[in-house]
Structure 1
Amino acid sequence: MAEIDQRTEVKEFLSSRRARITPEEAGLPAYGGNRRVKGLRREEVALLAGISVDYYVRMERGGLAGASDGVLDAVASALRLDEAERDHLFHLARRSSAPGRSRRPAVPVRPALQQVLDAMTDAPAWICNGRYDVLAANRLARALFSPVLADPRRPANTARFVYLEPEAARAFFVDHDRIARDVAAKLRMEAGRDPDDEELIALVGELSTRSELFRRRWASQDVRLHRSGRKSLHHPVVGRLDLDVESLEMPADPGLVLTVYTAPTGTVAADGLALLASWAAGQESPATGVRAPG
């Protein structure tokens, strides 16, 4: 993939969101039983958004430049976009209005952030960017994600692990299908924020070339924000861990996300994390980091 084309992104995103809504769901009459389009027609979206058909057609062809927040909000409501999808639409519009803007510079992990991670001794925590590059981690996170970090390529990348190491990823992530869907959706969100990121373009191209599953997920046009939730992992040493996940975007370090994994006291998962900490203490050295279990 040589580039992420902005107009194509806009066209495919809006048309895919339009295709999933039926006239009945939108409260519109469905005249005739032989509709040629899946979902809403463009003129129906325009009607729901309160804008002219010509204006909406121009928007769906990639012409978001100059669209006001009010128009974007109206289109988002007409298409029933969720929070992530709405943010994505606004990112696309901002990029359309400033096509020559240089891409965001790479954000390094400040030493103070590594100190914060190292101070968190009872919970795995790491810092990644929007491309899923693992930029910093504490000891427990290095132990928890030792299968991901077994690839000598640095920075390690969770998206590559999920899509290019499918057997290992399916063994590690209990709900691999959901993880794969979320990873592609978050990468799509990142592409809307910064389509000129050469490393992101290269990553999407690599995954598209080597993974048919990624091609399908990418083509879905789904987007997703970093959010809290639950993740179930099967660690090769301590077994299954059902962990609570908190992902926090870092305002002082734009583009970086801190993710922390915890388990309630007294649960099987908490005991598993304690066992993992003991195992990690015997595995790690300053020179080599965590060795892959085996």
Structure 2
Amino acid sequence: MPTIPGSSAETRTPLGRRTDVLASNRLARAVLTDFDALPATRRNLARYQLLDPDARERVIDWERIAAETVAVLRFEAGRYPDDRRLADLVGELAVKCPEFTTWWNDHRVLRRTHGDKHYRHPLVADMHFAYESFQVPGDPEQTLCVYNVEPGSETAEALRVLAGWTAPAITAPDASRPG
């Protein structure tokens, strides 16, 4: 996976064309939500950002990010007008998110390539990321999103703390078993 020079920490999330979360690293799960704990059919960034009450709390400037997410879905709907799963997602969001229809009817389209996002984490405070999105070579339906932070920044320190809290437990070898 690509790494942008100068970053001391990063989160990575590959997305499918409907913003389906295909995978995420430990830090991405700690910053946003644990997509791995959700049923595979519910692992979707748009669904999280627009319908999960925690997203409204965690995503600073939620309205801007949510509207951009709707514009990304509209972009994909234009590229794949017969995609039944995308139409179902749009329908679900239209019914369950009060703001969705207004943003959808704006007819704005967006293909994310780079930008910034800000998150409020309940344990470590506010975090600021620069992100880059890369189309995966050979698969136009996958996008790798890499979120980077400035080395030495408050966000880098917050990620270091989160990484420590979320690190897998290391168990000591069983002394009773021969080595």
Q: TM-score, normalised by structure 1?
A: 0.52
Work out which of the two has the higher radius of gyration on C-alpha atoms and give 1 or 2: 1
Higher normalized contact order (CA 8 Å, seq sep 6+, divided by chain length) = 2
Separation of aligned partners in 1, 2:128 and 2:108: 26
The aligned runs of 1:154-169 (5 Å cut-off) are 154-155=40-41, 156-165=43-52, 167-169=53-55
Separation of aligned partners in 2, 1:131 and 1:219: 18
Separation of aligned partners in 1, 2:115 and 2:122: 22
Listed as ranges, the gaps of 5+ residues in structure 2 are: 3-7, 170-179
In angstroms, what is the RMSD of aligned CA positions? 2.0
1:225 maps to a residue whose letter is: R
Tell me if structure 1 keeps the 8 A contact 2:70–2:104. Answer: yes
Instruction: Give yes or no for the alignment of 1:134 onto 2:21.
Output: yes
Aligned to 1:221: 107
Aligned to 1:144: 31
2:47 maps to a residue whose letter is: R
Separation of aligned partners in 1, 2:36 and 2:119: 16
| Structure with the larger helix share | 1
Closer/same/farther in 2, CA of residues 202 and 151 from structure 1, 3 Å limit:
farther
Query: Could you say what secondary structure the match of 1:136 adopts?
Result: coil
2:162 maps to a residue whose letter is: L
The aligned runs of 1:105-116 (5 Å cut-off) are 116=1
Separation of aligned partners in 2, 1:126 and 1:162: 14
Q: TM-score, normalised by structure 2?
A: 0.83
Aligned to 1:189: 75
The aligned runs of 1:179-258 (5 Å cut-off) are 179-258=65-144
Report the CA distance between 1:253 and its aligned residue. Answer: 1.4
Aligned to 2:174: none
Aligned to 2:12: 125
Listed as ranges, the gaps of 5+ residues in structure 1 are: 1-115, 284-294
The aligned runs of 1:49-128 (5 Å cut-off) are 116=1, 122-128=9-15
Aligned to 1:276: 162
Report the CA distance between 1:282 and its aligned residue. Answer: 4.6
Instruction: Give yes or no for the alignment of 1:172 onto 2:58.
Output: yes
Query: Could you say what secondary structure the match of 2:23 adopts?
Result: strand
Tell me if structure 1 keeps the 8 A contact 2:9–2:151. Answer: no
| Structure with the larger strand share | 2
2:144 maps to a residue whose letter is: L
Tell me if structure 2 keeps the 8 A contact 1:191–1:200. Answer: yes
Separation of aligned partners in 1, 2:50 and 2:32: 16
Separation of aligned partners in 2, 1:248 and 1:241: 22
Closer/same/farther in 2, CA of residues 151 and 195 from structure 1, 3 Å limit:
farther
Separation of aligned partners in 1, 2:167 and 2:36: 17
Report the CA distance between 1:162 and its aligned residue. Answer: 1.9
Query: Could you say what secondary structure the match of 1:212 adopts?
Result: coil
Report the CA distance between 1:122 and its aligned residue. Answer: 3.5
Tell me if structure 2 keeps the 8 A contact 1:231–1:243. Answer: yes
Report the CA distance between 1:186 and its aligned residue. Answer: 0.3
Report the CA distance between 1:203 and its aligned residue. Answer: 0.3
Separation of aligned partners in 1, 2:49 and 2:9: 26
> Which aligned segments of 4 or more residues in structure 1 are displaced greater than 4 angstroms?
none
Separation of aligned partners in 2, 1:164 and 1:223: 20
Identity of aligned residues (%): 37
